[in-house]
Structure 1
Amino acid sequence: MERVTGIWLDFDQAFIYHLQKGKNDFVIVDSEVEHFHLVGGSGSSTPYGPQEAVSEKKHLERRKHQTKNYYDRIQAHLKGSLEVMITGPAEAKVGLLNHLDKANDRTFNIHPIGRADKMTTNQIKAAIRDFYKQRS
């Protein structure tokens, strides 16, 4: 059995499970993507005075760069895999699929799986093992 990989991810962490005959590796990648809760700027004590607005563009640009860095770190763990199964609860998996589709040096097949809610590490490992067991 060649090396196959399963990924469960959201914007907090990615759980990467490599399956290979005789050796299985489990890696956790922290996202380091900040979760912003923008609140309005500050007003003035003078009615109709100057107001300071929150720069949403700056926060969105920072999040975009942090997300790309997160996907790059996940992609670095996929070298040497023949197949990659991707699942997770939110839009992070869609972003990773788009990121991997743009990669020029991709040497593996991608199998996107539908929505998967929060799981324990043992549930993630079992789901990935079951997926590849059904395929063989």
Structure 2
Amino acid sequence: MKQVGIWLDKQEANGVVLNNGKESLFNIPSELDFFNPKGGARSKTKWGPQDVVQDSKYLEREKHQLKDYFDKIAGQISDADEIAIFGPAEAPEKFVDALNERYPGLAAKVKATKTADSMTKNQFKALVKQSFGMDDRYPEAT
């Protein structure tokens, strides 16, 4: 059984793949532009025209870049049997919404979605194992 845990934000996605007792990690950079629109410019003449900042351009570009980013992540986890998604703010929710919209088969495999701040790789691996019911501290008796 292939279980995948993903921690993502708008900068990168880090993943842990648990497959028959073996662990592997992956990282996908987002390539999102972080927009910082400058304020409008004022004309030199009194009561002259002003340049208007077009927020809609920035938001539309970010929407397309997020779609590409989420598509890369979905491609990486396409063969997973169970998925757990973690991350700060609304990033995990946006990813789950994108899965529901474009990849309903993958969306059905999502077992957990939790808000989690940044953490070390070991903390993240422990969180993923815990979310799938595995725990390193108490190995199963064989």
TM beyond 0.5:
yes
Specify whether residues 105 and 113 from structure 1 end up closer, same or farther in structure 2 by C-alpha distance, changes over 3 A only. Answer: closer
Q: Mind listing any 5+ residue stretches in structure 1 that lack a counterpart?
A: none
Q: Please tell me the root mean square deviation across aligned C-alpha atoms, in Å.
A: 1.9
The CA distance in 1 between the partners of 2:85 and 2:26, in whole Å, is 14
Q: CA deviation at 1:22?
A: 4.2
Matching residue of 2:130: 130
Tell me the TM-score normalised to structure 1 length. Answer: 0.90
Tell me the TM-score normalised to structure 2 length. Answer: 0.86
Matching residue of 2:90: 91
- What is the 5 A alignment of 1:106-121? 106-107=105-106, 109-121=109-121
Matching residue of 2:25: 26
Figure out how many residues of one structure are paired with residues of the other and give that number.
Answer: 135
Specify whether residues 59 and 87 from structure 1 end up closer, same or farther in structure 2 by C-alpha distance, changes over 3 A only. Answer: same
Q: CA deviation at 1:38?
A: 2.0
- Amino acid corresponding to residue 70 of structure 2 in structure 1: Y
Q: CA deviation at 1:16?
A: 1.1
- Amino acid corresponding to residue 60 of structure 2 in structure 1: E
Q: CA deviation at 1:33?
A: 1.4
Which digits, 9 at most, give the CA deviation of each residue in 1:22-59, with x for residues without a partner?
A: 43220011111122222212111111112111111111
Q: CA deviation at 1:114?
A: 2.4
Which digits, 9 at most, give the CA deviation of each residue in 1:33-90, with x for residues without a partner?
A: 1222222121111111121111111111100000000100000011211100011111
- Amino acid corresponding to residue 18 of structure 1 in structure 2: V
The CA distance in 2 between the partners of 1:104 and 1:55, in whole Å, is 32
- Amino acid corresponding to residue 124 of structure 1 in structure 2: F
More moved, 68-77 vs 32-41: 32-41
Question: Does the Cα contact within 8 Å between 2:4 and 2:82 map onto a contact in 1?
Answer: yes
The CA distance in 2 between the partners of 1:132 and 1:104, in whole Å, is 22
Give me the identity figure in percent. 35
Q: Mind listing any 5+ residue stretches in structure 2 that lack a counterpart?
A: none
- What is the 5 A alignment of 1:1-136? 2-104=1-103, 106-107=105-106, 109-134=109-134
